[in-house]
Structure 1
């Protein structure tokens, strides 16, 4: 049975002091709801953002029957249902389980796996990391100890193009060539065989848990560990694989300069001959827009709040554009996102979704109703923050609501340094 959870305040550490977590994280899941002003919220983890055509239908039906009829795409390519009524937990769980969207009740919140969404589609990557994501998810759900990971712990699998390496993964795998991958953990890296990459990623998560227990601070993520107590990626060599009866250690060679590749996300439009990348307006799809992605071999929700429609050629773009989706890189709404805002969030100072204006295409821009800036992009972005008493701060400068459009255009197109 689902249970709605009240928000849990997170105390801030003193300057220079390590963060101490005295309880588990309160991240919502599909089996544990968050109570918001617009009803309950369910967050469904989708490793690599992957949905089958059947699962697309089930998710759209659940949003209409149990929620507000919309599906939010998160910055990790997961899906959120909002406006859920009291007492719908059992029905929601049954719908998701029947569609194969809940393979493990004990691990459903830790299935945080982002993978290059265009992998295997456009010929640009060094390996199809979507396949790695599926194997890693199976291994993750099969490991009882992995349920101790935080719902915020993140695996990132990059196919070598660098599109997802900047998403702040705790464990990051980067394909070097079809036979080799680099495993990054805690600022160091080791080289592993591509065939061992999913196993190595799971071993790295276990190394983190050991380091977190030794630190005694209750850290949820690698960056929260006290200085000097971080996990040593070389220790993955000592983690035995239960699926191989512990007979084989992992071969891992340390790399001296573990720089991460950096590349842009795919632009809206075709990805190879038989896939199409579209963005959801302000990161939210109506149930009808989600269904408009079909027919498809599969749908991959992306960390840029969109979807890759596998099996769709360029001829599908006009229909998806007519459905209200963003299909072109020159759309002024490409790269524009927003938090929930009013009326769904009690902390928000404004209805940021109603106030949002795109400005001219350029840098990503994110509208936030409060200083938490929930769901903001990674890397360089324009910060539009609701201000007390009305108006907004655009990258810190006060701007009246009526002047947002020119201010955001200037901020999106002006030269700037990375945050």
Structure 2
């Protein structure tokens, strides 16, 4: 979905006349290829059993595929309009729908490599479960929009770069910083208090949004006179029994997303898997579940549409690495698929002017070595990357247009005429 401009980019405050229309597991979205369900996966964390249920749901109710989103969630497409109750029952049985009233607000991203090859950094995975529990128990939090985003970062700066509304940045000294929106300052708390502080930050936002009366969905949409203030937030935390100190200037770190790598040494190693364009068949998905399960771990869906297997059975007893490669999934570094993303495109989206996924596949080799390219079926540019530089390739009624970023895509431009596989209907 396109995001609103930041406060620095606009002269007038964003005034919402309705609630957001983000799909969920209960609120299905009508698309051209059937209904769509978006299942929130806080922190991207799935047990093997939960992942198996998602594969079952894709086969039983959908088109036999699963899509990974830019917030580490999972989408099911091609759903029938009367499957909602049965889908909800199946998800509930796997613990994937713990609070129906809050299912669209459980938007939590977390450092996917936390606790894996990350000595000296706090392990933020336990924070995910605690923040999710607190969110689901808070009647106030149910008023958050489906766009509001929490980020739990282990200090390296990967998910902190994803434009979250509330960021918790862990430190090696047992403390954590809580940032409101894109503020340069933050509030310091003990790590044990970090999940509760994140919830209170969201409730502070809701109070400010109510006072502003603009029905803001995100922190950046608040009018300047109602902007969140770290000093006031520290006072609120102290009143709630959380010792807090405002830190006026913070050097925010940055780390790039995890990339696919080799199988490591031994029979069981961590693995980062990249499904091209973030889409998997249920056969591919079940293979990942089996490799993770036999290695004694679950799966972690990242906001960059990759899957981390913290402990994968890469060699014995099932030769998981070779099987994943043979299934068409990327598990080696330097693949051109690392620099290609796309929206749904045709035929799934009525607004799209092209089958962008087919076109991206046709010229994927032409993007190797360049900045990431995001293929958009229309000017809305849905699903574009965050936390990194990229260029937009946007479908128009007459072909594709490359945005004005100063990047020489001569090879890609030369291939676009041959790549265009679809022509918009005459009515467009």
Output the TM-score relative to the length of structure 1.
Answer: 0.88
Q: Secondary structure at the match of 1:218?
A: coil
Offset of residue 385 of structure 1:
0.9
For residues 18 and 256 of structure 1, what CA distance do their matches in structure 2 show? Answer: 25
CA distance in 1, matches of 2:230, 2:208: 11
Question: d(CA) in 2 for partners of 1:373 and 1:360?
Answer: 21
Q: In the alignment, what sits opposite 1:384?
A: 393
Q: Could you tell me how far apart the structure 1 residues matched to 2:413 and 2:351 are? A: 24
CA distance in 2, matches of 1:328, 1:125: 27
**Structure 1 residues 155-182: Cα deviation after superposition (integer angstroms, max 9, x where no partner):** 0111111111110000001111150111
Q: Give the corresponding residue for 1:368.
A: 376
Q: Say if 2:162 is the partner of 1:162.
A: no
5+ residue gaps, structure 2: 417-428
| CA–CA separation in structure 1 for the residues paired with 2:173 and 2:347 | 48
2:67 to 72, 76, 81: 72
Tell me how many residue pairs correspond in the alignment.
Answer: 390
Give the Cα–Cα distance (whole angstroms) in 2 for the partners of residues 59 and 262 of structure 1: 32
Corresponding residue for 1:269?
A: 261
Corresponding residue for residue 351 of structure 2: 347
8 A contact 1:237–1:249 mirrored in 2:
no
How far 1:104 sits from its partner (Å)? 0.2
Structure 1 match to 2:422: none
What is the match of residue 335 of structure 2? 331
1:224 and 2:216 aligned: no
Q: In the alignment, what sits opposite 1:298? A: 298
CA apart distance, 1:363:
2.5
SS of the counterpart of 2:97? coil
| Distance of 1:342 and 1:73 partners within structure 2 | 18
Corresponding residue for 2:202? Answer: 205
CA positional deviation for 1:219? 0.2
Consecutive unaligned residues in structure 1, runs of 5 or more: 1-6, 409-419
What's 1:128 paired with?
123
Distance (Å, rounded) in 2 between the aligned partners of 1:45 and 1:179: 29
Q: Distance in 2 between matches of 1:164 and 1:407?
A: 34
Kindly indicate whether the alpha-carbon contact (under 8 Å) linking 1:119 and 1:125 is maintained by their aligned counterparts in 2: no
Task: Give, in angstroms, the shift of residue 349 of structure 1.
Answer: 0.7
CA-CA distance at 1:403 after TM superposition:
6.6
Matched, 1:193 2:190: yes
Q: More deviation in 273-282 or 68-77?
A: 273-282
SS of alignment partner, residue 312 of structure 1: strand
TM-superposed CA distance for 1:228, in Å, is 2.8
C-alpha distance after superposition, 1:232-289 (max 9, x if no partner): 2333445479xxxx8x511111112123211111111259873111111111111111
RMSD across aligned positions (CA): 2.5
1:283 to 271, 278, 282: 278
Asked if 2 retains the 8 angstrom alpha-carbon contact of 1:49 and 1:77, the reply is yes
- In structure 2, C-alpha distance between the alignment counterparts of 1:115 and 1:271, rounded to whole Å: 23
CA deviations on 1:176-232 (whole Å, 9 max, x unpaired) are 115011110141301111111111111111111111111111000000011231112
Query: Would you say the 8 A contact 2:237–2:243 is kept in 1?
Result: no
Inter-CA distance 267–15: structure 2 relative to 1 (3 Å threshold): closer
Whole-Å separation in 2 of the counterparts to 1:143 and 1:72: 29
Distance (Å, rounded) in 2 between the aligned partners of 1:285 and 1:276: 17
Q: Deviations over 1:37-67 (max 9, x none)?
A: 1110100100011111111111011101111
Give, in angstroms, the shift of residue 394 of structure 1. Answer: 2.1
SS of residue in 1 equivalent to 2:338: coil
Cα distance in 2 between the residues matched to 1:82 and 1:307:
19
What is the CA–CA distance in structure 1 between the aligned matches of 2:138 and 2:35, rounded to whole Å? 30
Change (3 A) 1:68 1:304: same
State the match for 2:424 in structure 1.
Answer: none
